[in-house]
Amino acid sequence: MRPPTITIDGPSGTGKGTLAIRLVRATGWHLLDSGALYRVVAYAAQQQGVSLDSAADLARIATGLALEFQVAEEAVEVWLNGMEISTDIRSETAGSAASQVAAIAAVRDALLARQREFLRAPGLVADGRDMGTVVFPTAELKIFLTASPFIRAERRYKQLKQKGIDVNLARLSEDIAARDRRDEEREVSPLQPASDAIILDTSALDIDAVEESVIALAQERGLR
């Protein structure tokens, strides 16, 4: 029998990553931070001097990544070829580069099987943009998080500051808007809620409240 899956999709700054880690702590399930995969592909391409619109080279990079993930206190730590690159891939510039490579169908195809390999017993919490629509369409519980653009920029600002990454709020707000537009308007796997997703607006909710609602939904569906 296929292990159970909870998918969490939505634009940046809605709290997907934090919610996913909390659910993993509550359930003991595995975690897929799919955004990290796209971030690493863009990072590895830049390291190798590969252009971010060179589809075939990017797909080759996506297929061969020697990656390791570890769930830490509040974030996922990422190693590439044995080197920790968590901070390098978390800047907004890296997010924007990730969004660029994520619009390329060959890159998404190359990462599809790799993402599905994360689904192992006792279960999976998967966070991204197309977890409920494309990667795990039969997930037992699909959550789509939203929040107002201002709140999302502010949350991202605090998150990046905490990580020691220097940012300007106005500039960040523009970058996030541009990135979300690209993620929503691309032809392959655009950012959109699955038809059976539950949409949660987190603008006025703190993370404890979001976690409580999702745990309650998981219990209603017999997942815990």
> What DSSP letter does each residue of 138-169 carry, written as one string?
T-SEEEEEE--HHHHHHHHHHHHHHTT----H
The residue (of 53 and 220) whose beta carbon lies closer to ligand DC is: 53
| Spatial contact of 91 and 42, defined as CB atoms under 8 Å apart | no
Structure token digits, residue 199: 């949409």
140: which residues sit within 8 A by CB, 6+ positions away?
A: 4, 5, 6, 221, 223
Dihedral-angle region of residue 100 (phi above 0 means left; psi in -120 to 50 means alpha; beta otherwise) = alpha
CB-nearest residue to ligand DC: 35
Strand partners, 7: 126, 142
Instruction: Give the nearest distance from C-beta 131 to ligand DC in angstroms.
Output: 6
Instruction: Give the nearest distance from C-beta 216 to ligand DC in angstroms.
Output: 25
Instruction: Give the nearest distance from C-beta 112 to ligand DC in angstroms.
Output: 10
Instruction: Give the nearest distance from C-beta 12 to ligand DC in angstroms.
Output: 5
Instruction: Give the nearest distance from C-beta 130 to ligand DC in angstroms.
Output: 5
The residue (of 30 and 179) whose beta carbon lies closer to ligand DC is: 179
The residue (of 68 and 220) whose beta carbon lies closer to ligand DC is: 68
| Spatial contact of 127 and 34, defined as CB atoms under 8 Å apart | yes
The residue (of 129 and 142) whose beta carbon lies closer to ligand DC is: 129
Instruction: Give the nearest distance from C-beta 220 to ligand DC in angstroms.
Output: 25
Cα 221 from Cα 210, distance rounded (Å)? 17
For the chain, what is the largest distance between any 2 Cα atoms, rounded to a whole number of angstroms? 49
- Give the interface with ligand DC as residue ranges (CB under 6 A): 12, 34-36, 38-39, 95, 98-99, 102, 128-131, 179, 183
The residue (of 123 and 132) whose beta carbon lies closer to ligand DC is: 132
Residues in the chain: 224
The residue (of 178 and 216) whose beta carbon lies closer to ligand DC is: 178
